[in-house]
Amino acid sequence: MNGQKRADISIGLPVKIVLKQDQRTGKLTSGIVKDILTKSPSHPHGIKVRLQDGQVGRVKEIDK
């Protein structure tokens, strides 16, 4: 799953996000979802989340 649908993401889910400063390189950061920040049901660049360590970015991959 690519993280573009809000329904696919839940709190406590392990994900890979791209941070704002890493958008050019596409470097992914792994973590556990603490908060879902995007209110709309989908977003073409990925749903914005806050990880448990406080980092904020858009979900690119959902780990299973």
Is 59 buried (19+), middle (13-18) or exposed (0-12) by CB count in 10 A? buried
| Mean per-residue pLDDT over the chain, rounded | 96
pLDDT at 1: 77
CATH of the structural domain 6-62, one choice from 2.60.40, 2.30.30, 1.10.3470, 2.70.98: 2.30.30
Domain boundaries, the chain: 6-62
Provide the residue-wise pLDDT of the chain in tens; the chain has 64 residues: 789 999 999 999 999 999 999 999 999 999 999 999 999 999 999 999 999 999 999 999 999 7
| Per-residue pLDDT tens over the stretch 48-58 | 999 999 999 99
Separation of alpha carbons 59 and 10, rounded Å:
12
